[in-house]
Amino acid sequence: MTGFAARIRRATMVEHREAETRTFISRLMAGTIPVAGFAELTAQYLVIYRELEAAAAAMRDDPVAGPFADPALFRVPALEADLAHLYGAGWESAINPVEPTRRYAQRLRETCRTSPAHFVAHHYVRYLGDLSGGQLIARTLSEKYGLPAAATNFYRFDEIPDAKAYKTAYRQRLDGLDLPADQLEAVLAEAQLAFGFNGAIFQELGTTWPEDASVAA
């Protein structure tokens, strides 16, 4: 790849690797985190995506950010359905954002509704990652925990039948970003920050769910 899509991938490579290799995520994919830990992670995602998709609504008509604000990507309804299955009635009361999630949501709220550069950075980190690994994660969770499809809606994009083609078009939009050089640098820096937020959430949850936590919990 060449162009800005390649630049942002290279610029975030270290942060991306650090986030996805956190012990919590490694143990989740190995099936050694209690299902309650998976449910808590899902709740953190809802807090984040509510802010990101509120920003998408605010930026829908922006000439730079608007093309990225595709409702086919929206995850809030899927996350709400997952949490209703995982927690049952009254699931909203189970949402307790950890401190890194609160800081992440605040950053989204303060920057992404008015700054195309910040919006694109956070949008890229979350949604392109979801599209890239979602299907594999859903299959792994189903195998390791016996979770039904009703608990893993977040990882499926029913309105995007060809994820590979969608990601190609997404990267083309990144390559065509009409922003001055300083704002392109701001996208790179903010994307690095976004990966840092995600890694901090995994680290916090790893403390909440240590290695000696019972998988049956």
In this structure, is residue 133 part of a structural domain?
A: yes
Q: What are the helix (H) ranges across 124-177?
A: 129-145, 163-175
**Residue range 160-184, pLDDT digits in tens:** 999 999 999 999 999 999 999 999 9
**Residue range 66-78, pLDDT digits in tens:** 999 999 999 999 9
Average pLDDT over residues 121-150: 90
In this structure, is residue 2 part of a structural domain?
A: no
Contact 110, 117 (CB under 8 A): no
212: CB partners within 8 A, 6+ apart? none
Give the span between the Cα atoms of 207 and 119, in whole angstroms.
30
> Which residue matches tokens 């949402």?
95
The CA-to-CA distance between both ends of the chain, in Å, stands at: 44
Average pLDDT over residues 90-94: 95
Measured in whole angstroms, how far is the alpha carbon of residue 183 from the centre of its chain?
A: 22
Domain encompassing residue 91: 12-208
Query: What total of structural domains would you count in the chain?
Result: 1
Exposed, middle or buried: residue 177 (CB in 10 Å: 0-12, 13-18, 19+)?
buried
In this structure, is residue 4 part of a structural domain?
A: no
In this structure, is residue 170 part of a structural domain?
A: yes
| Averaged pLDDT score across all residues of the chain | 92
In this structure, is residue 6 part of a structural domain?
A: no
- What's 43's domain CATH number? 1.20.910.10
pTM value is 0.93
